Structure 1
Amino acid sequence: MSTSEQSAGSTAQHAQHLNPKVVVISVAAAIGGFLFGFDTSVINGAVNALSDEFALGAGLTGFAVSSALIGCAVGAWFAGSLSNRFGRIPVMVIAAILFFISAIGSGLAFGVWDLIVWRVVGGLGVGAASVIAPAYIAEVAPARYRGRLGSLQQLAIVLGIFTALLSNALLANTAGGAAESFWFGVDAWRWMFMIEAIPAAVYGVMALFLPESPRYLIAKNELDKASRVLYDFTGELDVNLKIEQIRRTLEREEKASLRDLVGGRFGLKPIVWIGILLSLFQQLVGINVIFYYSTTLWQSVGFDENQDLLTSTFTSVMNIVATIIAILLVDRVGRRLMLLVGSAGMTVSLGLMALAFSFGEIAPGTDAITLPDPWSTVALISANAFVMFFGTTWGPLVWVLLGEMFPNRIRASALAVAAAAQWAANWAVSATFPSLSTVGLSFAYGLYALFALLSLLFVFLWVPETKDRELEDMEDLQLGRTKKTTT
């Protein structure tokens, strides 16, 4: 039996029971995901009001909505190198500060351009959190429970989306509309942004009390601290063996950098390309169109402002339920099968949405599209089915895979590149949707259905299974397959 097999077997024996402490610190780290979801979705209820407030056209509205995603890509790109240099915890604290500043600045914006600046600042925090939370959770979680703990990131994201949509609905309903005055004579849509300052402050304080990642500590030769974290939180009994195992994977490169990702026939290591394409497909299926523009979408099926805000909130509740289902299944079923099922379901549901909107009609005297019966019902059911298929598979599992699939020495850097690609795709989809919708919603959803179909082929041909594999064994992952190990 090989050394890696022995260490994998030893770790499996040590991780029979889940230490409650590792759940607590994983939940605390995942609050970054909550702010991630809240910050990117809060614009949903404010978009029409701020568009009227600043007299925006379709193009500038799309840019204002998606502007945070520019910051997300930049924040994700630099988060890996910053966390390798200063640690995971300091980057979490920085992200919390950026969230707080963005919330206040966006709520007090006096024009569209300074609003865009504050949204970009918040995006920097979102991008950093999108890298640090899954990396940190993967590095403290036992292999046997890593899928479930890693899925907490997505659960936190969808809870953030739900909270943003719910608070938007409550503020709009209480004030009589998003554009109406509320507390202290400030418009309700401005309060939608400023309320994020509360969870941002909570996240920053909680991050200060988290233990540092044991793999980061070992890389910095702080072995005593790493030992305590591994024993007290991860549940390792043979701490010395685990430290030696981690050190072997880290010492192959003295210092991690983006140069470590280079290799292979296409410029980057195959496993890095897999991470990038997973990130791209997660966004190119158009999931965030549902959350960024759903208020406008539901108006096309006959809902007024109050109804469409509540419908958007209901959709986010379904997303939460879907994520909980994923948490229960991911470590039992495995990553590949769930992604394949999700891709197939998204292809069908998006295809039905495209078909439904092909029967759309222009409302007299307006540019708004309305759907006649039964196609309005088909669109409503298909949109929620799409959310369920995404929420049980591609939503949480991509974050799980990105947190665990890369070898130790390149994890933070590779995750940063993949997350930056994800945010760039998110921005492209969000910014182009208003223009695509002028061509036709049927065309837009048909395009997203095509990407869902391509994601099915991609997973089938190239995505490896990482279920039950130790992080120190990820070096064995190959393009589209894994080495078999004896258990």
Structure 2
Amino acid sequence: MMVLAACLFVISSIGSGFAFAVWDLMAWRVIGGLAIGIASVIAPAYIGEIAPARLRGALSSLQQLAITLGIFLALLSDAGLARFAGGASNELWWGLDAWRWMLLLGVVPAIVYGVLSLRIPESPQFLIRRGRKEDALAVIANVTGAADPEQRYAEISSSIEDQRRSSYRDLRGPAFGLHPILWIGIGMAAFQQLVGINAIFYYSTTLWQSVGFSQEDSFTTSVITATINVLLTLVAIFFVDRVGRKKLLLAGSAGMFLGLVAAATAFAQASGTGDNISLPEPWGAVALVGANLFVICFAATWGPVMWVVLGEVFPNKMRGVALGVATAFNWIFNFLVTLLFPILSAAVGLGFVYAGFAFFAALSFWFVKALLPEFSGMELEDKSKLERRQA
């Protein structure tokens, strides 16, 4: 599946780079979206199965680190190409505009992703399902570092020996027609987007310009925000297995709420209309501090830890399908928040929009506190985990 995703990334990048119409470009971007969907599901599932329990949180957090680094490097490369050409719409090399090269450059990481995918082993769970015992034992011994490979093999085999191929029937349950643990996964995926992180990143430069920052200062502020996002993800990698998923998420929800309340209060003081909006002193500084406090708390907690939870919260029987459903909801809410942010900002103002994000941050605290079990240090096949789910 990773190789398939890499091929789709390559096709999307090349097709987008040579697009001749808007509908054509959109079609190629849809193919890229399929690749992103596959990669978003496969990465946490694979890491969750291949990583030992004591390191699973940190290793699963690497997915979010890769996402933040990828966004940051893409922004830098796009800015470099645009500057070298004198503008994104200016011709760069071989008669192609700079914006086309921005899209074509995606072929490079796609090829690297595909080549590396061919060099990593299959997970023990996959190999055991295929009856490849020796290969599974080799992976358990050489990759996961299990002290007793035979015992670990027996534990995994015991958890999947009576399980048929995963299907959507496995998701059915007593909670509004679905298994309760699936609702927890969907809730985690939804709240990660409903707090507004991608609205801030997608519209960061425009946002700061809309409240009086110059174009140069807005760009600098956006770069600072992106850098904070990357650096704080490293903090999550360090603490997720030491502190625990639940404690980090609760602290993150509280911190995000405070930052968003500060930003909402500041933006509520904006004066002017249209392109002539400004924040009086000291509210510009308050908005900047509040927004970056929010990014700090998100990047150190909900950004990476949500993917850690999705990779380990589902039982083997439904993990693949359930992870796919939860990831789909994450992208759906990403789309909705991104689509509605500029519309609501124009209709009711940034103060009310950020207040809405603060509301969802507060709601996420209750959700984690009341519903999310703590899985730190447990193997995926740990029977006590299943008992805690049922409780």
Structure 2 gaps of 5+ residues are: none
Q: Deviations over 1:75-124 (max 9, x none)?
A: xxxxxxxxxxxxxxxx1111111112222222333333222222221111
Classify 1:241/1:393 alpha carbon distance in 2 versus 1 (closer, same or farther; 3 Å). Answer: same
Which of 313, 322, 326 does residue 405 from structure 1 map onto? 313
User: Could you tell me how far apart the structure 2 residues matched to 1:114 and 1:371 are?
Assistant: 41
Q: Deviations over 1:114-163 (max 9, x none)?
A: 22222221111111111101110111111011111111111111111111
User: Could you tell me how far apart the structure 2 residues matched to 1:203 and 1:254 are?
Assistant: 31
User: Could you tell me how far apart the structure 1 residues matched to 2:337 and 2:379 are?
Assistant: 35
Asked whether 1:234 is paired with 2:134, we answer no
Q: Could you tell me which residue of structure 2 aligns to residue 209 of structure 1? A: 119
User: Could you tell me how far apart the structure 2 residues matched to 1:441 and 1:173 are?
Assistant: 31
User: Could you tell me how far apart the structure 2 residues matched to 1:316 and 1:292 are?
Assistant: 11
Q: Percent identity?
A: 54
Asked whether 1:380 is paired with 2:288, we answer yes
Q: Could you tell me which residue of structure 1 aligns to residue 351 of structure 2? A: 442
Instruction: Output the amino acid matched with 1:434.
Output: P
Structure 1 gaps of 5+ residues are: 1-90, 482-487
Kept in 2, the 8 Å contact 1:300–1:371? The answer is no
Q: Could you tell me which residue of structure 2 aligns to residue 335 of structure 1? A: 245
Instruction: Output the amino acid matched with 2:187.
Output: L
Q: Counterpart of 2:378 in 1: which secondary structure?
A: coil
Which of 132, 139, 154 does residue 49 from structure 2 map onto? 139
Classify 1:348/1:168 alpha carbon distance in 2 versus 1 (closer, same or farther; 3 Å). Answer: same
Classify 1:193/1:290 alpha carbon distance in 2 versus 1 (closer, same or farther; 3 Å). Answer: farther
Q: Counterpart of 2:373 in 1: which secondary structure?
A: coil
Kept in 2, the 8 Å contact 1:173–1:306? The answer is no
Classify 1:385/1:178 alpha carbon distance in 2 versus 1 (closer, same or farther; 3 Å). Answer: farther
Kept in 1, the 8 Å contact 2:6–2:35? The answer is yes
Which of 165, 175, 180 does residue 270 from structure 1 map onto? 180
> Equivalences for 1:305-320 in 2 at 5 Å?
305-320=215-230
Instruction: Output the amino acid matched with 1:420.
Output: A
Q: How many residue pairs align between the two structures?
A: 388
Instruction: Output the amino acid matched with 1:139.
Output: E
- Once the two structures are TM-superposed, the CA of residue 185 in structure 1 deviates from its matched residue by 4.6
> Equivalences for 1:74-473 in 2 at 5 Å?
91-362=1-272, 367=275, 369-439=277-347, 440-473=349-382
Kept in 1, the 8 Å contact 2:212–2:277? The answer is no
Instruction: Output the amino acid matched with 2:333.
Output: A
Kept in 2, the 8 Å contact 1:166–1:310? The answer is no
User: Could you tell me how far apart the structure 2 residues matched to 1:383 and 1:429 are?
Assistant: 17
Q: Could you tell me which residue of structure 2 aligns to residue 20 of structure 1? A: none
User: Could you tell me how far apart the structure 2 residues matched to 1:107 and 1:244 are?
Assistant: 50
User: Could you tell me how far apart the structure 1 residues matched to 2:378 and 2:112 are?
Assistant: 33
User: Could you tell me how far apart the structure 2 residues matched to 1:466 and 1:253 are?
Assistant: 22
Kept in 2, the 8 Å contact 1:404–1:471? The answer is yes
Kept in 1, the 8 Å contact 2:64–2:304? The answer is yes
- Once the two structures are TM-superposed, the CA of residue 305 in structure 1 deviates from its matched residue by 4.4
Kept in 2, the 8 Å contact 1:285–1:449? The answer is yes
Kept in 1, the 8 Å contact 2:49–2:123? The answer is yes
Classify 1:152/1:169 alpha carbon distance in 2 versus 1 (closer, same or farther; 3 Å). Answer: same
More deviation in 296-305 or 410-419? Answer: 296-305
Q: So what's the TM-score if we normalise by structure 1?
A: 0.76
User: Could you tell me how far apart the structure 1 residues matched to 2:223 and 2:314 are?
Assistant: 35
User: Could you tell me how far apart the structure 2 residues matched to 1:115 and 1:359 are?
Assistant: 40
More deviation in 370-379 or 456-465? Answer: 370-379
User: Could you tell me how far apart the structure 2 residues matched to 1:356 and 1:185 are?
Assistant: 47
- Once the two structures are TM-superposed, the CA of residue 429 in structure 1 deviates from its matched residue by 0.7
- Once the two structures are TM-superposed, the CA of residue 323 in structure 1 deviates from its matched residue by 0.6
Classify 1:305/1:119 alpha carbon distance in 2 versus 1 (closer, same or farther; 3 Å). Answer: farther
Q: Counterpart of 1:254 in 2: which secondary structure?
A: coil
User: Could you tell me how far apart the structure 2 residues matched to 1:458 and 1:157 are?
Assistant: 25
User: Could you tell me how far apart the structure 2 residues matched to 1:187 and 1:325 are?
Assistant: 39
User: Could you tell me how far apart the structure 1 residues matched to 2:117 and 2:83 are?
Assistant: 34
More deviation in 115-124 or 214-223? Answer: 115-124
User: Could you tell me how far apart the structure 1 residues matched to 2:99 and 2:206 are?
Assistant: 16
